[in-house]
Amino acid sequence: MPETLATADLRQWIEGKDAASLQQQLAPLHPAEAAERLADLSPEELAAFVELVGPAEALTPFEFTPFELQKQALIHLSRQSLAQLINLMSPDDRADLVDDLDEAFQEKVLSLLIKSERENLKKLLTYPEDSAGAHMTTNYALLRRADTVGEALQQLRLQAPSKETVYYAYVVDQARRLQGLVSLRELIMAPPRAKIGELMNTRVLSVAARADIEDAAAQMTRYDFLALPVVDADNRLVGIITYDDIYDIIAEEATEDMYRLANLDATEKISAPLLRSVRLRVPWLLTNLLTALGAAIVISRFTDSIEKVVALASMMTMVASLGGSAGTQTLTVVVRSIALGEVSLKDNWRVLCKETGIGLCTGCVVGLVIGLVAWAWFHNPWLAGILWVAMTLNQVLGGLMGALVPLVMRKLGRDPALGSNIFVTASTDMGGFLIFLGLATLLMSHLLVSG
């Protein structure tokens, strides 16, 4: 068993058209492992590999290779191999791939599909990118309600090779409306003569094809489902989402929130070309610049005070910085809890009060520490006191805004993570400078006396 199959060897066999060696070395590997080796090839080499071992053999590892590589390799395939490969691919992977091709090549691929698959693909392509329909597979197992368990098992035996899963099988009526669900586990436990119609669960949860895929993920993770049926507007079964799709969706959802909290475009990839990353990040930084400019304007209103007590210039940044930290802490907890369904709408007030309260407590503690430091540093108890109060108030503001912004966003039906960090830091920056420099200006006489 070759534990380390070098890319160089793969290349050599492909160049030498040594199909036998390729098959022999790749066969014992899991398709995902084989795909990992193939991922190091160029698109041309991957295409040559598909031609060499044949599309049927190459199919599964091919489907596990990175998406971009797949896309580029398709272009280098012969018409015949392309037709074969694309007809063999699982409908959901194929739809993802074709959706991303440029239009002329998309047309070519469509023309190579057999009619039923072409219709199917065209339908899949109409679903919005983040919908359940765009992620579902149309290869699910069907049973008839009049079948006996024995007949159903025979049916699944026949369907197994071509279906994404046979562990859940569905029953539909003549209009293809979803009637029930039987798991293979129930089937093997049931008496062979029992009827599917009696055995099946009729209370089947499903998701609408146009619903957000995150809704499907939420249902599946909540109920620990292995698969979830997808229905159209007329409740007709059109596909299923399986657990492995959900693995990806949960991770993608989290990435999206994480990126949005850091003011990043959710579609950015570490592998993206440098200039694409720059293009995606600059608009966010410019928005950030606007709020930073707001803070600078606040400061500029207090230049008189700063000129008089220049120590304010070094102290003010601490107030803003710590307020921002407290705000980001709250924002992150709240956004994540909303995403995980841990905060319902009726919890809004409780969360808001709690987070503001946390801001008050942490502000008191942290403010006291920095107040004492400032006292030792500048020997001015008034400066220390102002710092303490400003730090506390700004962390209250951070807690309040960190909770308020995402909760209001959700109430408005928007993504709680999107852009919310900008609002929160804008308020703690401007608020922090305003509170601290404002207090210092009001109490300027005390700062000057003992300064």
Q: For the segment 374-393, give every residue that binds a second copy (CB under 8 A).
A: none
Of 327-346, binders to a second copy (CB under 8 A) are 328-329, 331-334, 336-337, 340, 342-343
Q: Tell me if 361 contacts a second copy by CB under 8 A.
A: yes
The residue with tokens 């928005």 is: 287
Q: Judge whether 52 and 85 are in contact, CB under 8 Å.
A: no
Say how far apart CA 129 and CA 267 lie, in whole Å. Answer: 12
- Cβ proximity to a second copy: between 80 and 202 the closer is 202
SS3 helix, strand, coil % of the chain, rounded to 5?
70, 10, 25
Q: Tell me if 250 contacts a second copy by CB under 8 A.
A: yes
Give me the sign of the Cα torsion angle 22, 26, 31, 32.
negative
Q: Where does this chain touch a second copy (CB under 8 A) — which range of 6-14, 45-53, 142-150, 312-320?
A: 312-320
Q: Tell me if 295 contacts a second copy by CB under 8 A.
A: yes
Q: Tell the smallest beta-carbon distance from residue 211 to a second copy (Å).
A: 19
Binding footprint of a second copy, residue count (CB under 8 A): 103
Q: Tell me if 157 contacts a second copy by CB under 8 A.
A: yes
Q: Tell the smallest beta-carbon distance from residue 111 to a second copy (Å).
A: 31
Q: Tell me if 3 contacts a second copy by CB under 8 A.
A: no
Of 173-212, binders to a second copy (CB under 8 A) are 184-185, 188-189, 203, 205
Q: Which DSSP string do the residues of 169-192 spell out, in sequence order?
A: EEEE-TT-BEEEEEEHHHHHHS-T
- Binding string, 255-274, against a second copy, x = CB under 8 A? x-xxx-xxxx---xxxx--x
Q: Where does this chain touch a second copy (CB under 8 A) — which range of 74-82, 91-99, 318-326, 404-412?
A: 318-326
Say how far apart CA 48 and CA 60 lie, in whole Å. Answer: 16
Exposed / middle / buried, residue 283 (Cβ in 10 Å: 0-12, 13-18, 19+): exposed
Q: Tell me if 373 contacts a second copy by CB under 8 A.
A: yes
Across 194-333, the runs of DSSP E, i.e. the strands, are 207-208, 227-231, 237-242
Q: Tell me if 410 contacts a second copy by CB under 8 A.
A: no
Between helices 67-75 and 43-53, what is the axis angle to 10°?
Answer: 70
- Cβ proximity to a second copy: between 131 and 165 the closer is 165
- Cβ proximity to a second copy: between 4 and 116 the closer is 4
Of 418-447, binders to a second copy (CB under 8 A) are 425, 429, 433
Q: Judge whether 382 and 445 are in contact, CB under 8 Å.
A: no
Say how far apart CA 359 and CA 17 lie, in whole Å. Answer: 68
Q: Tell the smallest beta-carbon distance from residue 113 to a second copy (Å).
A: 25
